[in-house]
Structures are given as C-alpha cells and as structure tokens.
Amino acid sequence: MATDSWAQAVDEQEAAAESIGSLQIKDKLEENGTASTATTTAAAASASTPAKMEGGEGNKTEEEDDKDDKAAQSLLNKLIRSNLVNTTNQVEVLQRDPNSPLYSVKSFEELRLKPQLLQGVYAMGFNRPSKIQENALPLMLAEPPQNLIAQSQSGTGKTAAFVLAMLSHVDPNNKFPQCLCVSPTYELALQTGKVIEQMGKYYSEVKLVYAIRGNKLQRGTQLQEQVVIGTPGTMLDWCLKFKFIDPKKIKVFVLDEADVMIATQGHQDQSIRIQRMLPKQCQMLLFSATFEETVWNFAQRIVPDPNIIKLKREEETLDTIKQYYVLCNSKEEKFMALCNIYGAITIAQAMIFCHTRKTAGWLAGELSREGHQVALLSGEMQVEQRAAVIDRFREGKEKVLVTTNVCARGIDVEQVSVVINFDLPVDRDGNPDNETYLHRIGRTGRFGKRGLAINMVDSKFSMNVLNKIQDHFNKNIEKLDTDDLDEIEKIAS
Ligand SMILES: Nc1ncnc2c1ncn2[C@@H]1O[C@H](COP(=O)(O)OP(=O)(O)OP(=O)(O)O)[C@@H](O)[C@H]1O
C-alpha cells in the first residue's frame, strides 16, 4: 500500500471499485486463460466499465459531491459523447524552437502512420484529424521526440491524439513497458484504455495492461505489455515498490486530464515522482481541458522544454438569448408560473436548474403529475445512470430535464430551446455565480439561434442575486408577468 496522504484518497476511491475491478479481471482471465494480469491485447474485447463513480450518496453532503465533481463530469462527458465537439476557434501553438517549421496535417495519411494504426483510425470512423490533432500529432510523432503540453476543451480529440502517439512509438518486438499513461481515476483510466484497445485493434502485437488497484500481480512479475495505463498510485507502486515496470525503459509518458488530476490532493506529487524516475529523453505529454494557474504550474514541473498547444473554448455569449425573470413568493408559486409558461408557449425541450436535489426531485414529481415527460438528473445517481438520462433527453424521449448544478455544470448537452433557473445560481457563500449562469444559459441559443432563458425570483435575496447578474453582464433582464398569457406568448415570437 502506498503511504502518502494523497494515495489514501486513491486507495479509498479504488477500494470502492475493487470488487468490480477484480470481477472484471477474473472474467478476462477466464476468457484469455492467461496468468495473473488484466492484460488486454489491442485486439481483445474491451473491458466493461464499472459503474462505481458516484456523484454522492448515503451520508455524503452535497459539498462533498462537489469534490468528486470534476472527475465525474469528465467521465460523464466521455460517456455521453459520440462525436467531436464543434469548434471554430483557432489553435495557438507555442513552439519550443520557434525557428523550426510549424507542421500541421489535414489528413491521417500525411502522418505516415503504421498501416495497422491507420486501419484502426478509420475503423473508429475518423476521416480527418480534429483541430487539435492537426497540430499535436506532427509534433508528437516527430523525431527526435518533443514534449508537449496541450489544452483544449473536452471532446476535441486529445485522447485519440495521444493514444495514436503512444501506439506509434511502441516497438512491438520489445516485450516490456514503453509507454505509461496516467489518468486521475480508475474509471477514466478504463475509458482511455478502451480507446487504446479500439485504435490498436489491428495492431495485435501491442499489448496493454491496466495499473489499477483491482489488478494484483504476483511479486516478481516483469510486465511484457508495451503500454501501461493506470492511476498514479498503482503506477508508482508498480515502478518503485514492486518493480513490475522498469521506468528507465519508458519512451512516452502521458499525463491525462491534468486539471482533474490536481483536484485530488497529492495526485500531483505522485505524478511528479513517477516522472522523476523516467529517462531524460522520454517524451512527456500533458493534456488538460483547462489551464488555470495551478494546472499550468503543475504542467511545467512535469514537462520540461515543452511545446504548447492551446485551443480556446468557444466564447459563450448572451447576445442571442432573451432573458426574463418572474417574481414569485414560494416554490409552489414558481411551479405555477412554470405551468403557465408551458400552457402559453410551445417548448420543444427545456432544462430546469434547481439549487438542491430535494427541490429538483420535488419539481420533477410535480411536473410529471401535470403530464410532462420529465427526466431527473440527480446527485445520487451513478455516472452511468446520469449518462443514460442525458442520452434519453438528447434523443428527445423526455422533453424536460430537471437537474441540480452539481450534476450539470460542465456537461455538454445539446441545444435546448428554453433554460429555466428555478433557482438562481449562487456559490457556497450565496454570491451570484456568473460563470454558471452563463454556462447554463449558454445551453440555449446556440449556433446563432435565438434562445429563451427564464429566471425564477422568490425572495429579496434572489432579486438581489438577479440584479448583480444583470450588472455583471451589463444586460437587462426583463420582468415577465406569468399571469398574463398574451405577454408570455409574445416572448416566444
Ligand atoms: N479525428 C476525429 N474524427 C472524428 N471523431 C473523432 C476524431 N478524434 C476523436 N474523435 C471522437 O470525438 C470524441 C471526442 O474525442 P476525445 O475523447 O479524443 O476528446 P478529448 O479532448 O480527449 O475529450 P476528453 O477531454 O473528454 O477526454 C470521441 O468520441 C472520439 O472518438
């Protein structure tokens, strides 16, 4: 067992997943008839995903849920996403050597990939590199290897890019680990492992092993797999304590989801300790969806002399969104107002945000009693259940999605026509949460269409929050009288 405090967090998290992990590994062993590793060949069927990361349940408080949030959201986004995120923003490349020519590719052929890998790429349905891949892939595949720090929002093709780089650098004739990939959680490691398996489907000489808590190896094992994916605790143990991996032979080190990684106390120390064991010439690659200062500081410690690629997030704007507020005195009145709005205008799909799970649950119940097809996204749900709810909503099976902020912050749900803040977004100190407001409202009115946002105000306090939001965005939010049907009809025109 690892001894540091950070490792405890991973231990706890992985211990929860252990029973499922062992089962899964056992299945795999029975399937493959192999010795004691959860190895998969690139051609093997991919591992099933355990449903163990929870937004919170039992005696967990909502604030505690928030801590698991980043990893859960990242996983959720991966589960619900089947395509690249559309972005028109430009890529910014800062080269270590500004005099060397800047390469970018518009096709996978230009990269001169091994035929087995090209076949894997096309089998995954990729026709051409994504924006970030255009620039990152030539850099990552260059000789001599170059270090890279890359930032772009979730869903822009980072995982596929570094998986391709790892598989390209592996020498299948060498039966020992050559690429290490560190992910913040057990579940995220499994997701990335799946991508490695898919992309390496036609490259069966390359083998993958999961360095995750549930995978117990015999002492003295020398790994033969070329690619190792895992969480930092187990990865460090396998390198340092058990010596299953010889870190001196590693050619590529990938640190995925750096922003999620540093959210867990101590994860970064562990990653740095792994990195220190690697040879100087090892290629260091670090990926992150965001680049706040803490991530940046961490990235610079892990990746010496980096090239840097950034893809800015699409700016969210309130310009095409009509915003209103409704004055009420209680949650029951807010519900009545909501019914009036539904009675007056046709709403294709709406997302309704509540402050607590309790309110969300109550509102979902009331709305379905009124005959609405309602989906509820709640903190008690496991991530896989949440993904299923979002999938159904996106398919239009339900027309209303009621949710709390904890569940929906950062989630890429496709366009909805109306967003309703049943409760206004505030942070833990009760101050207006402008960023969340923008993100919620940004769900509507995308791609140039006009969207509608309605805020429910039920106290002096929430009126004050609304005023501050108006001031912040310098945008007037008009009052709407929901007892006047004509007036409501007008807002939809
Ligand atoms: N070149 C491509 N063409 C088409 N689809 C792609 C391409 N690259 C990746 N994808 C698909 O787009 C989705 C997002 O890609 P990927 O998971 O690599 O993004 P990401 O930036 O790593 O996201 P996250 O930060 O959430 O992990 C996946 O479903 C992936 O299969």
pLDDT digits (tens, 9 = 90+) for 136-172: 999 999 988 899 999 988 788 999 999 999 999 999 9
Q: Tell me the two tokens of residue 458.
A: 């039920």
**pLDDT of 125 above 50:** yes
Distance (Å, whole) CA 95 – CA 409: 33
The token duo for 256 is 């995925």
pLDDT in tens, 232-285: 999 999 999 999 999 999 999 999 999 888 877 678 899 999 999 999 999 999
Distance 129 CA to ligand 1 centre (A): 10
pLDDT given for residue 324 in this prediction: 94
Token pair of 52 as six digits:
């163990």
Whether the per-residue pLDDT at 449 is higher than 80: the answer is no
Per-residue model confidence as pLDDT tens digits over 21-35: 332 333 333 333 332
Binding site membership of 111 for ligand 1 (Cβ less than 6 Å): no
User: What gap in Å lies between CA 257 and CA 74, rounded to an integer?
Assistant: 9
Hey, which CATH number is domain 70-311, 3.40.50.300, 1.10.510.10, 3.20.20.100, 3.40.920.10? 3.40.50.300
How many whole angstroms separate alpha carbon 95 and alpha carbon 84?
25
Whether the predicted pLDDT of 115 surpasses 90: yes
Residue in the structure block whose two tokens are 């002399």: 305
Q: 124: CA distance to ligand 1 center in Å?
A: 10
Looking at every residue in the chain, the average pLDDT score rounds to 81
**pLDDT number for residue 33:** 32
Could you tell me if 69 and 383 are in contact, meaning their C-beta atoms sit under 8 angstroms apart? no
From residue 216, how far is each of 34, 117, 234, 336 by CA, in Å?
14, 30, 10, 57
**Spatial distance between the Cα atoms of 148 and 137, rounded to a whole number of angstroms:** 10
* 371-396 mean pLDDT: 85
Q: Residue 40: beta bridge partners? A: 208
E-only strand ranges, 385-465: 400-404, 418-421, 451-457
C-alpha of residue 195 to centroid of ligand 1, in Å: 10
Q: How confident is the model over 356-370, as pLDDT tens digits?
A: 889 999 999 999 999
Q: Is there a common fold for 70-311 and 321-492?
A: yes
What's the pLDDT at 446?
Answer: 56
Which carries the bigger pLDDT value, residue 380 or residue 460? 460
CA-to-CA separations, 15 to 7, 10, 20, 249, in angstroms, rounded = 12, 8, 10, 30
Q: Is 157 in the pocket of ligand 1 (CB under 6 A)?
A: yes
- Tens of pLDDT, residues 398-428: 889 999 876 666 566 666 788 999 999 998 7
Q: Please, which residues have CB within 8 angstroms of residue 363's CB and are 6 or more apart in sequence? A: 331, 335, 352, 354, 402, 422
First to last CA, the chain: 63
Task: Give, using CA atoms, the residue closest to atom 2 of ligand 1.
Answer: 126
Ligand 1 pocket check for 82: Cβ under 6 Å: yes
Residue to substitute in 126, 152, 295 for testing ligand 1 pocket (most ligand atoms within 8 angstroms of CB): 126
DSSP for 28-54 reads: HHHHHT-SSS-EEETTSPPPPPP---B
Backbone angles phi, psi at 444, to 5 degrees: -110, 165
CATH of domain 321-492: 3.40.50.300
Computed from CA positions of residues 391, 229, 259, 62, in that sequence, does the dihedral angle turn out positive or negative?
positive
Cα dihedral 253→255→256→259 (10° resolution): -170
Q: What are the sequence ranges of the domains in the chain?
A: 70-311, 321-492
% helix / strand / coil in the chain, to the nearest 5?
Answer: 40, 15, 40
Residue scoring higher pLDDT (38 or 467): 467
Residue type, 326: V
Residues ≥6 apart with Cβ < 8 Å to 460? none
Instruction: Output the pLDDT for position 24.
Output: 33
User: Which pLDDT value is given to residue 404?
Assistant: 85
Distance CA 130, CA 195 (A): 16
Which H/E stretch holds residue 161?
A: helix 158-169
Residue 307 one-letter amino acid: N
pLDDT at 15 exceeding the cut of 60: no
The residue to mutate among 156, 187, 260, 290, having the most atoms of ligand 1 within 8 angstroms of its beta carbon, is 156
pLDDT digits (tens, 9 = 90+) for 164-197: 999 999 999 999 999 999 999 888 899 999 999 9
Residue 154 CA: which ligand 1 atom is closest?
25
Give the per-residue pLDDT at 409: 61
Residue 70, ligand 1, Cβ within 6 A: no
| 254 Cβ contact partners less than 8 Å away, ≥ 6 residues apart | 162, 165, 166, 179, 180, 181, 182, 285, 286, 287
- Section 130-141 average pLDDT: 93
How many CA atoms lie within 13 Å of 99's alpha carbon, on the beta-carbon side?
Answer: 0
Say if CB 210 and CB 229 are below 8 A apart. Answer: yes
The predicted structure's pLDDT at residue 334: 96
Helix (H) or strand (E) holding 428: none
